[in-house]
A and B are shown apart, each in its own frame.
Chain A
Amino acid sequence: MSTETAAGSSGSGSGSASSSVNLESVRAVAKKDFQDAVRSWLFWGLSVFFFLLLVGVTGGLSYFGAEVSPTQAETTGALVSLVSQMTRVVIPLIALVLGWKAIAGERESGSIKVLLSLPHSRKDVLLGKLLGRAAVLSLSLIVGFVLAAVVVAAILGSFDVVEYAGLLAMAILYGLAYTSIAVSLSSMTKSTTIAGAAVFGVFLLFYAVWNLLLTGLQILMSRGTIDGVEYTRTFEMADGTTEQITAQRVPDWALFIDSLDPGNAFANALSIISSTVEGTTYPDYYFPDGMPFFLEDWFSFIILLLWIVVPLAVALWRFDRVDL
């Protein structure tokens, strides 16, 4: 390891390990990567998948809807709510599968030398790859959603463009976050096996481990390892008297950690656009002095943006410094 770090710094004293970004180069790499993907079954397969998902759920709603929940059946809101729950799991899977080989695969096969023999910087390659893969997911989402819109409108009779487009936009943002995570991880290693294990680990992290974190923090709080926050809840009894109960909840930072899960952020941000989507909600009595800004729904947009920017920034920094 020591030689690798030495290599980065001693080669030429001018800190040349940091490469520049050229937008023309990024575009050329992204275009090539997208062409490569469009030629495979993947792009059209994904478009068809999203189309069928939307049409299928709509069909199901109109068929069973009236029996299940007559008040909100057969509306765009119900569709958005159901589809968002599915996409919450499906989009990470697709994005991780699309991205895990993006760089590691080319390093393993050696074809990255074809890319980097041309006048592209390593940052250009990383950004271009991310854009290319994100374009595959985003465009297939758009194709699927737009084509399905006609069918959905015909089945439902009415159609709320804002909620539908809102779901599409959030799905794209959510997909971009996971694509950034996948492509960034992919640039960290030469081995597709390690890259695959890493993205699988990320999926497990947010679908198994993260949900346990809050429970774990609650246990730590009840044992007194971390300090909880006292709150008072007022009950109104049947006879008109009130009774107050004082209890403990986990501190704000623990709730913030819970909200960092991209899936939670996706749901929370979408709940702003669609009233039928349920994000994470806290009772008012948790925050007698008002909710901290970082737990409000709008902050989930920032969290999703951070999930795009932070992994990418780390990857851009590191990818410039490794031997291919």
Chain B
Amino acid sequence: MPAITVDNLTKSYGQTLALEDLSFQVQEGEVFGFLGPNGAGKSTTINVILDFIRPTAGRVEVLGLDAQANSREIRSRTGVLPEGVETYDRLTARQHLEFAIDSKGSDDDPEALLERVGLVDAIDKKAGGFSKGMSQRLMLAMALVGQPDLLILDEPSTGLDPNGAREMREIVREENERGATVFFSSHIMEQVEAVCDRVGILRDGEMVAVDTVEGLRDSVGGGTTLRVTVDRLDDDTLQVVRSLPDVSDATVEGRNPPVLVVQVQGSKTAVLGELEDRGIEVKDFTTREASLEDVFQSYTTGTEVHAR
């Protein structure tokens, strides 16, 4: 059974379409990265999943239940880290957790939860004095209350330093190992790459790709960029390099010394061999694989992928 099924979901505000016929599924037990630039509709989708807003058309099922009709039951089995969190300034970290524990009817220990997110030192401090990162940790601790079957994390790395972001991913992994499905939105590919089983890329309210991280990489075919610094270069050589079977593109950067930039799908030795055969001296060369960030860029801006 899928943990989340979004079926032809459309949401419009007056003339503005926030989501158009969006459909995707999140499988039980997976970590799903929900990726897209700001304004693509990620929060709108999450808001429908949690019944904060109502769809214009289409339907959403969470944990096998209708997102609107059974929202309370869904939320009792779901831990949520909302986007752009606002804590209650006058309540302490402990009181925040007690509220969540009280609301979910669980018997968690506030101290243990805060220990997990690295905030136990501030347990009796009022949240009004917390930094953005501390608020984020507090909200994550609240989301973990009651061992939820589903975790929905909306831009969880906001306000966290690299170390905090790493700890966040660590917790995502632990929760996933416990058996929880994790639905994780972000506008930064790097953050989902390390932890997600599958990634869905949202653009202008439409899902443009859903695949595993490797699958996405392959599908765009970004391949490898080879940068070769040579002593000289002529048009003839450039033509020959371009006509090599594994090369999709070749350009020249710089004049003195010239740098040959080649997009290669397979082996780069063919390119280097061809240069050597023509007596061109290779002074230096670097290779770079297309990163997922490039893949993300290509999907969200519609440009062709080139590893830089």
Contact = CB atoms under 8 A, between A and B. Distances in A.
A324 B83 CA distance: 14
Nearest to A18: B69
Contacts of A154: none
A321 B53 CA distance: 9
B12 to A, nearest CB: 5
A8 B82 contact: no
B113 to A, nearest CB: 14
Given A118-B100, A323-B53, A111 B86 contact: yes
Interface in A12-33: 12, 14, 16-17, 19-20, 22, 24-25, 28-29, 31-32
Interface in B81-113: 82-88, 90-91, 95, 99-100, 102-105
Contacts of B69: 12, 14, 16
A40 B72 contact: no
A8 B88 contact: no
A117 B87 CA distance: 13
Contacts of A204: none
Contact of A28 (B66, B80, B102): B102
A10 B57 contact: yes
A324 B51 CA distance: 9
Given A25-B103, A118-B75, A119-B72, A40 B52 contact: no
A280 B76 CA distance: 52
B66 A12 contact: yes
B142 interface: yes
B47 interface: yes
A19 B54 CA distance: 13
Contacts of B102: 28, 31
B279 interface: no
Contacts of B126: 39
Contacts of A323: 47, 52-54
B146 to A, nearest CB: 9
A126 to B, nearest CB: 15
A68 interface: no
Contact of A109 (B47, B75, B86): B86
A40 B85 contact: no
Contacts of B91: 32, 35-36, 39
Contacts of B139: 114
B51 to A, nearest CB: 8
Given A31-B102, A39-B91, A119 B75 contact: yes
A3 B14 CA distance: 6
A110 B55 contact: no
Nearest to A25: B103
Contacts of A113: 50, 52, 80, 82-83
B231 interface: no
Nearest to A27: B102
B59 interface: yes
Contact of A110 (B71, B84, B142): B84
B186 interface: no
B281 to A, nearest CB: 61
A6 interface: yes
Interface string B160-198: 000000000000000000000000000000000000000
B210 to A, nearest CB: 24
A12 B75 contact: no
Contacts of A157: none
A29 B102 CA distance: 9
A118 B80 CA distance: 8
A11 interface: yes
19 contacts: A7-B11, A7-B53, A10-B56, A16-B69, A22-B72, A32-B88, A32-B95, A35-B91, A35-B95, A36-B88, A110-B84, A111-B85, A114-B82, A117-B82, A119-B73, A119-B75, A119-B104, A324-B47, A324-B52
Interface of B: 11-14, 47, 50-57, 59, 66, 68-69, 71-73, 75-76, 78, 80, 82-88, 90-91, 95, 99-100, 102-105, 126, 139, 142-143
Given A12-B69, A16-B69, 17 more contacts: A3-B56, A7-B54, A7-B55, A12-B68, A32-B95, A35-B91, A39-B90, A110-B85, A113-B52, A113-B82, A116-B50, A118-B100, A119-B72, A119-B73, A120-B75, A121-B72, A324-B52
Interface of A: 3, 6-8, 10-12, 14, 16-17, 19-20, 22, 24-25, 28-29, 31-32, 35-36, 39-40, 109-111, 113-114, 116-121, 321, 323-324
